[in-house]
Amino acid sequence: MPLFGTDGVRGLANGSLTADLALSLAQATAVVLGQGRSAEARRQAGKRLTAVIARDPRVSGEFIAAAVAAGLASSGVDVLDAGVIPTPALAFLVADMDADFGVMVSASHNPAPDNGIKIFAHGGVKLPDEVEARIEAAMSGTKLQPTGAGVGRIRRFADAEDRYVVHLLQSLPHQLDGLHVVLDCAHGAAAGVSPETFRDAGARVTVIGADPDGLNINDGVGSTHLENLADAVIAHGADVGIAHDGDADRCLAVDANGKVVDGDQLMAILAASMHERGLLAEDTLVATVMSNLGLHRAMAERGITVKQTGVGDRYVLEEMNRGGYSLGGEQSGHVIMAKYATTGDGILTGLHIVAEMARQKKTMAELAGIMKIYPQIMINVRGVNREGVAGDEVIAAAVRAVETELGDTGRVLLRPSGTEPIVRVMVEAADKATATAHASKLAAVVKEQLALA
């Protein structure tokens, strides 16, 4: 099984993800990314490679980040240790400091026992699959082993957080005009940055989930547990709630009545605003195949094209880079605003959403009403040959029949898991009962046709 998944290397800290693995991965990264153009230019100027590293507050991040720093420095790379900051802050700082690459130690929305390692290339961009494969191959090859003055230095990046906050504030088109915002920081990396930034932008802020102890990250809080945020918004009479995940690359919201506003709705709000102001490049939004049919319809009504990609913000970003598009993201709350970020940025997204409330003088519910959400039913069909779904004519005929019946009032998506014997069957329709009936019928066909012996 490949070491890298859809978002870096992830696993149980001190289980599959050990200090030895982190050190070896860092050394291999120094070898592979040290061959790039920016690295060669730095060497020709008589300078060493530079990397920025950071982590979220989970306890295992301390030893994993230390192992990463050791692996890089032992390979002759100077390390700027930014400490606990969000993943998008790390990506921004790699570009802002003209570093050769960056390494983020985080498992995002996963529970505290897990951790992960995400690598960003020069410019703060995620690595393509082929570069990740080269790094994995290099782990079993010859490492760089300079001695004496050739080894790298590890220094504290003292003003990392301040640089990021200034960047966020400078991106805003409008102050937040005293709007009352409840922030759920998921006991994660947003805790030290998001409240300060929203206050500096002019919001009145109430904070929950901002007491990280290394073990409570994402524990009943954050973007995967919105019930506490909804309760807090109602209890405080706030205008809006913003939720981050553990490394703050996601943003979801709730309106003043506690109703959830998902990533599709957030993208619709931003796309419509940018389109109106002439800032939406090619009048196009990039979204994954999982985005709701309602998003497509709302955008079509406004003359905005929706480009679809596979699931994963890296694929959204690749399409954005190919087409020069300015906005993209996922239903889960990864939203990429290309003018200001190279990856999903939950704090940036939240700031711009609340700024739209202030600019348009509308409630969150009014803004979210830009699109109707079609019921979306997902069934995971387990114990099947996931690779057979694409070529099975019986399944294809069943899908065509459902699509014909739904017409333009729904859609069907069959998606094999990348790692498990699972096929995900998703059906959208005008009502939940119809979506459920069709999804169940298709799941039964998939199970019958592809069941493992």
Structure tokens given for 375: 């019921």
452 burial level (CB within 10 Å; 0-12, 13-18, 19+): exposed
Backbone angles phi, psi at 358, to 5 degrees: -70, -40
CB 286 within 8 A of CB 303: no
Please tell me the number of Cα atoms within 13 Å of 411 on its side-chain side: 13
Q: State which H helix or E strand residue 443 sits in.
A: helix 432-450
Structure tokens given for 78: 């100077």
3-state SS, residue 423: strand
Backbone angles phi, psi at 269, to 5 degrees: -60, -50
CA distances from 204 to 94, 243, 341, 411 (A): 31, 16, 25, 41
56: closest CA among 110, 106, 124, 112? 106
Residue 245 is assigned to a ligand binding site: yes
38 is catalytic: no
CB 29 within 8 A of CB 141: no
Residues contacting 245, CB < 8 A, separation 6+: 108, 109, 186, 188, 218, 222, 223, 224, 333, 346
The full DSSP string for 23-50 is HHHHHHHHHHHTTSHHHHHHHHTT---E
Residue 326 is assigned to a ligand binding site: no
Amino acid found at 193? V
152: closest CA among 21, 37, 52, 25? 52
Residue 249 is assigned to a ligand binding site: yes
CB 186 within 8 A of CB 243: yes
Structure tokens given for 116: 């992960």
Amino acid found at 417? S
Q: Is 16 left (phi over 0), alpha (psi -120 to 50) or beta?
A: alpha
Q: Which residue of the set 74, 106, 108, 273 is catalytic?
A: 108
Rounded CA-CA distance 148/59 in Å is 32
Residue 56 is assigned to a ligand binding site: no
**Binding-site annotation, residues for Mg(2+):** 108, 245, 247, 249
Catalytic residue annotation:
108
**Binding-site annotation, residues:** 108, 245, 247, 249
